[in-house]
Copies of this chain bind each other. A is one copy, B any other.
């Protein structure tokens, strides 16, 4: 059991390495340089990094193409900058609700690309959170209104997709509009995706990508959440989204698929047969836990062995589950999934289930997630913990801490959703 647990942790940690901002930028710029190094000295090279991982992506780009960068801009969340980077201005802005600093960042970026020509290059380094951090309201709409609408949508339970569909239409830089401002300059985007399915127009509200949403969708969202809109905003929602624009190169350099792939490779190296079942898992955390446990249990089923996974195996899932919090405990989606799974594998030997977030901070806790085995519940009970009550109270953190089943990595500086795994031998 001990080595099975260690293997699970090692596989998770190896997978994380592949999706760190530095790894993503290095591999993407390496590929890009092969096709572009000749032309780099002729014009300007503007690098704009946007999102929670912006500082680290910018810093990595400086290491590789620092000598070519004429203007750099980092726009990131408060406390996400780690100091100056040569040729880069560093700005911090509001998140998850945009603020005046977000507009200042949007305006600064617009200035940097204002007079570019076809000799020039723009490189966008995009990570999650960029949507709020980078803003410029379209003419006639105020930042106050965008802030109000964002708050209303968040409070009324709108999805991030829905929020961005509205915000793109009220913005002069989202939904491909920023790319249009760069005019004839070449553009290359390196993306660290925090959106399941990698819809490019959704990640950071797609400053360089045509908006795929429709006027009808925007109207439906406004109705569903009973948004209080000004006349100008209402008009903005009715405008056809930017669809015709120059194609440009976009590379998803890090996402949950890569996280899963790297986990599969590492599992394979250690002798487990890997299988990635999905990279877009989006159901309730505790139900996902039950399902993973149900798969793990079947190792012992004597019938149908020829059609089932043969141990040792690693069944891998990527995605982001959800929790409907009803209790007052402490936890996160990954910890809740792991605690729920512990019930379904109670007493089993030779199987562990891991669920952990690539950002290293699951919910409002200092843990990345949980790693449970067939003795987890017993260890909890030995500590005087009632596991059923913990699950009921959404208190997975304390239950898993009691059984020694928290996965602790510290903040990783990246966010490409979560990894879940059934490891069995």
Binding site for B on A (CB under 8 A): 197, 255, 257-258, 260-261, 264-265, 268, 274-284, 287-288, 290-291, 294-295, 297-298, 301, 303-304, 307-309, 315-316, 319
Contact = CB atoms under 8 A, between A and B. Distances in A.
A307 B197 contact: no
B307 A264 contact: yes
A283 B315 CA distance: 18
Nearest to A299: B278
Contacts of A277: 277, 295, 298, 308-309, 315
A281 B318 CA distance: 20
- Main SS class of interface, A: mixed
A280 B297 contact: yes
7 contacts: A258-B303, A264-B304, A275-B308, A279-B303, A282-B290, A283-B290, A287-B287
Nearest to A280: B294
Contacts of A298: 276-280
A312 to B, nearest CB: 15
A265 B264 CA distance: 28
A153 B288 CA distance: 28
Contacts of A283: 287-288, 290-291, 294
Contacts of A264: 304, 307
A159 to B, nearest CB: 13
Given A287-B288, A291-B291, A297-B197, A304 B280 contact: no
Nearest to A275: B307
Given A257-B303, A304-B257, A297 B274 contact: no
Contacts of A281: 291, 294
Contacts of A315: 277
A276 B294 contact: no
A17 to B, nearest CB: 17
A278 B295 contact: yes
Nearest to A340: B283
A226 B191 CA distance: 57
A376 B268 CA distance: 38
Contact of A261 (B265, B274, B307, B319): B307
B197 A304 contact: no
A222 B98 CA distance: 55
A268 B306 CA distance: 12
